[in-house]
Amino acid sequence: MLTEFNEQPNPESEIPRSDSSSEKRRTKKLTPDELQERRNALLQAGFDEDFVKRAESLYPSLCSPEKVQQVLTALKERGFSDPHTMIKTTPLVLSYSFENIDAKINGLRERGFSDFLKMIETFPAVLSYSFQNIDAKIEGLKARGFSDPKKMIETFPGVLGHSFENIDAKIEGLKARGFSNPRKMIETLPQVLSYSFQNIDAKIEGLKARGFSDFLKMIETYPTVLGYSFENIDAKIKGLIERGFSNPLKMIETFPAVLNYSFENIDAKIKGLIERGFSNPLKMIETLPQVLGYSFENIDAKIEGLKARGFSNPLKMIEASPGVLGHSFENIDAKIKGLIERGFSNPLKMIEASPQVLSYSFENIDAKIEGLKARGFSNPHKMIEASPRVLGLSLENIDAKIEGLKARGFSNPHKMIEASPSVLNLSLENIDAKMKGLQARGFSNPRKMIETLPQVLGLSLENIDRKLRLFTRLVSLYQLPIVPTEAMEKNLKLFSTKFDKLIVLARILRYYEVPEDEVYSAMQRLLKLNLENLLVALRDKESEKSIQSLIRRTKAVKKQGLSREDKRQLIAQDLEPLQTEIRKIIDRYFRGYPKEKE
């Protein structure tokens, strides 16, 4: 939109007028009827009553219809798209000679302005500024540290109307209010020069009153905030809450340009993300509000490009780290290639597990590998590949974790971390709570448990409680001579074993009537076996009914190298001749591991 400016001539400017003496003579001798005729001609030419009154206040005799039409035609011929608006905004345009306009266009072109027609059309008063004034403004802006004065003027030609006293005062005033880089603010949005400090102070106070914590950074990052009314800002916050966003203030503070998106745009983005299979678009946008700025063409191309590169679940990747949308395929391809060159065996899996890997520079990755080696880890590549989030941890953080584990009595923190690198992502407070919780649940040596199987730290106490309850019920149901906490502490694999598998194994132990003193060791041996191999062996006719014989037959099945699907077909076929108890065991297996629907 064009801004209306005061039509008073700038004291530093020149205002060349039409040199038509006949025009001057005619305008001195107009009768009331002739004057009304000129008013009507302006109205017929597409100007409104308000403009006619403003023009008449500047030129009591107005311009002749011929002159108005001549100016409109000449401006169109020179490439201006909307001469009417130019004249409405700045009626003085009617008084400029065409030689002056042509000279101004050529002079702006010679000075390197790329869109001089738009400059003049946006701010027709440019025609009134001498080149001496324009050149002095460019040099003065350079001298004040602005990196691209021409771009500033081209973006907002009104800069030409601000004196250096005004510009210097604006810079100093912004510094005094705590802005760290006023020049960058002004260069990003030169219109800042037109905002009064009263407006700026009111905006700062209003943002503070609405709960924004870093309002200065908001404005500095996106100076356009200064142009938004509080009605607009309040409506945006309210609308975001109504759409289910949990923290609109944080969204806007992270990416103030959110204020610029209409609710139609936001609603369409949410709907489009759902249609593409994303499960939680609100969380995606809240995590990275810049998603609102990505076109669906960009998003669709990113999904297809990730698939084409072998990623198995691009939607999950993007949902976990929406920043993936901002990485070019050149960046992604270079990252994959660089990871391979550094000896990582499966970069795709690494990136899919932690898409943030795409944001780490190779300098960072190389330094992390060297730093882990220097700290005594034997295989940093394997650690990083197992838990790519390690790349996001500082070496100071890793050192503190090692020292903290030592202080808590762990004998070999390096071995723990190498076995389960995700330990590095847990706080020491979390580890302390886990040890205390395990002890409260009857485990005799939580420290040894964690050191033997560090993955236990990744289990929530709720998960452990559930596993303990289910295992206790299982022991009671099948009358197994086992103390649940002791069994789980002796065989930590129980923590990660699916409950359906435990039920099947318990039924097998009961079927074979394993003696009490052998139940625990038999359970340990069965846990190590592949369940499908075990059930194929269970179906075979046996010369002796013993758990040892079943284990031998299971190992023989393993050597056959059958696929899982082939084994499941063997387990399911011709159940009728089998003993009732074996059929029940197989039936329970398929309840826990159901057949896929055809």
Q: Report pLDDT digits (tens) over 544-584.
A: 789 999 999 999 999 999 999 999 999 999 888 889 999 99
Do 568 and 506 have their domain in common?
A: yes
Do 482 and 533 have their domain in common?
A: no
Please say whether the beta carbons of 509 and 480 come within 8 A. yes
Please say whether the beta carbons of 114 and 153 come within 8 A. no
By residue range, what is the domain housing residue 450? 440-492
| 531 within a domain of the structure (yes/no) | yes
| 373 within a domain of the structure (yes/no) | no
24 closest CA partner among 57, 52, 59: 59
What is the pLDDT, as a whole number, of residue 282? 97
Q: Give pTM, 2 decimals.
A: 0.72
| 450 within a domain of the structure (yes/no) | yes
Please say whether the beta carbons of 7 and 58 come within 8 A. yes
5 closest CA partner among 134, 156, 197, 212: 156
Residue 464 tokens read as 């452990």
| 317 within a domain of the structure (yes/no) | no
Measured in whole angstroms, how far is the alpha carbon of residue 249 from the centre of its chain? 16
Q: Is the dihedral of CA 414, 415, 417, 418 positive or negative?
A: positive
Residue 310 tokens read as 């072998």
Do 488 and 516 have their domain in common?
A: no
Residue 429 amino acid letter: E
State the Cα–Cα distance between residues 346 and 330, nearest whole angstrom: 19
What is the pLDDT, as a whole number, of residue 42? 87
What is the percent of the chain where pLDDT is above 90?
Answer: 72
Residue identified by tokens 């990416």 is: 255
Do 472 and 505 have their domain in common?
A: no
| 256 within a domain of the structure (yes/no) | no
Do 459 and 484 have their domain in common?
A: yes
Do 488 and 503 have their domain in common?
A: no
Residues of the chain under the 50 pLDDT cut: 1-27, 598
Do 577 and 540 have their domain in common?
A: yes
Do 477 and 515 have their domain in common?
A: no
| 545 within a domain of the structure (yes/no) | yes
Number of domains the chain contains? 2
Counts of helices then strands in the chain (DSSP H, E): 35, 0
Do 541 and 576 have their domain in common?
A: yes
What is the pLDDT, as a whole number, of residue 41? 86
| 535 within a domain of the structure (yes/no) | yes
Please say whether the beta carbons of 252 and 236 come within 8 A. yes
Do 459 and 529 have their domain in common?
A: no
| 333 within a domain of the structure (yes/no) | no
What is the pLDDT, as a whole number, of residue 5? 32
Q: What is the DSSP secondary-structure string of 27-51? A: HTS--HHHHHHHHHHHHHTT--HHH
What is the pLDDT, as a whole number, of residue 270? 97
Residue 587 tokens read as 């039936």
Do 461 and 476 have their domain in common?
A: yes
3-state helix, strand, coil in the chain (%, to 5): 70, 0, 30
Residue identified by tokens 């597409």 is: 46
